[in-house]
């Protein structure tokens, strides 16, 4: 009687050993979800400040641009914006054949702007989306009193520029620019915040029309003050 009972126990153990690996594999395959990913769009936004020789803060804008996602059919893009902690609003719709960018000029200082772009497919559903980009708009640059004049001392002619001291505590240095006869701007003078705020430009020629402007920079190179532009005409 003992041998048949022992044989039944051994047979049951072998059956369990055969079934266990198959059961474990089946459990793993049914509980692991299939990966679902949405094609990503890389969104980048930046505050664009005009050339200090042309204009100052009122013409600035936040410009956003993004890439086209791969592997999906897109008919248009929607750019959304929220201000500070407010609700999200649609500010631009861009077709696929257009440049994938938008300039947001409806901005004000001391506010944080959050941008998000979504790609819309033929069915009207979202097929890809971007990251959220946040930018804070600082207050406009301080206006510096700025004046340039032509100085004729005998046979020597020069242009002398002077500007007021920046009142912003962040200002650490000044950079003076010039543009001759509408050409590219050139740096002609640099000084620390406590340095001399006057520059005598002796590299001038008869008949030149020269445009000067000065900027005050913080320690990160951001513009915190702007003076000018001012124009001088060197006599022939």
pLDDT tens digits for 12-40?
443 334 333 333 333 333 333 444 456 79
Name the nearest CA neighbour of 62 among 143, 150, 137. 137
pLDDT tens sequence across 63-122: 999 999 999 999 999 999 999 999 999 999 999 999 999 999 999 888 999 999 999 999
Give the DSSP letter of residue 99.
-
Find the DSSP H helices in the chain. 2-31
Residues with Cβ within 8 Å of residue 15, at least 6 apart in sequence = none
Q: Using the CB atoms, write b or e for 119-149: b if 16+ within 10 Å.
A: bbeeeeeebbbbeebebebeeebbebebebe
The correct CATH number of 142-233 out of 2.60.40.10, 1.10.357.20, 1.10.10.10, 3.40.50.1370 is 2.60.40.10
pLDDT tens sequence across 124-150: 999 999 999 999 987 778 899 999 999
pLDDT on residue 51: 58
The correct CATH number of 40-137 out of 2.60.40.10, 3.40.30.10, 3.40.640.10, 3.40.50.970 is 2.60.40.10
Could you give the CA distance from residue 52 to residue 20 in angstroms, rounded to a whole number? 76
Q: Supply the mean pLDDT for the chain.
A: 83
Residue ranges, CATH 2.60.40.10, the chain: 40-137, 142-233
β-pairing, 40-41 vs 126-130, is parallel
Please tell me the pTM assigned to this model.
0.55
């Amino acid at each position: 009687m003992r041998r048949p009972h022992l044989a039944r126990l051994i047979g049951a153990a072998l059956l369990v050993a055969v079934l266990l690996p198959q059961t474990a594999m089946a459990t793993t395959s049914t509980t692991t979800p299939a990966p679902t990913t949405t094609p990503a769009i890389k969104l980048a936004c930046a505050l664009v400040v005009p050339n200090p020789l042309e204009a100052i803060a009122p013409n600035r804008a936040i410009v956003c641009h993004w890439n086209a996602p791969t592997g999906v059919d897109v008919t248009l893009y929607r750019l959304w914006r929220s201000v500070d902690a407010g609700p999200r609003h649609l500010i631009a719709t861009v077709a696929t054949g257009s440049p994938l960018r938008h300039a947001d000029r409806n901005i004000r200082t001391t506010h944080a702007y959050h941008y998000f772009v979504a790609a819309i497919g033929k069915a009207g559903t979202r097929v890809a989306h971007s990251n959220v980009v946040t930018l804070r708009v600082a207050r406009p640059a301080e206006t510096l009193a700025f004046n340039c004049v032509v100085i004729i001392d005998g046979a020597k002619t020069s242009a002398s520029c002077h500007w007021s001291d920046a009142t912003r505590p962040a200002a650490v240095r000044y950079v003076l620019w010039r543009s001759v006869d509408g050409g590219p701007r050139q740096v002609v003078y640099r000084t620390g915040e406590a340095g001399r705020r006057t520059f005598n430009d002796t590299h001038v020629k008869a008949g030149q029309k020269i445009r000067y402007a000065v900027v005050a920079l913080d320690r990160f190179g951001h513009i915190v003050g702007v003076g000018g532009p001012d124009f001088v005409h060197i006599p022939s």
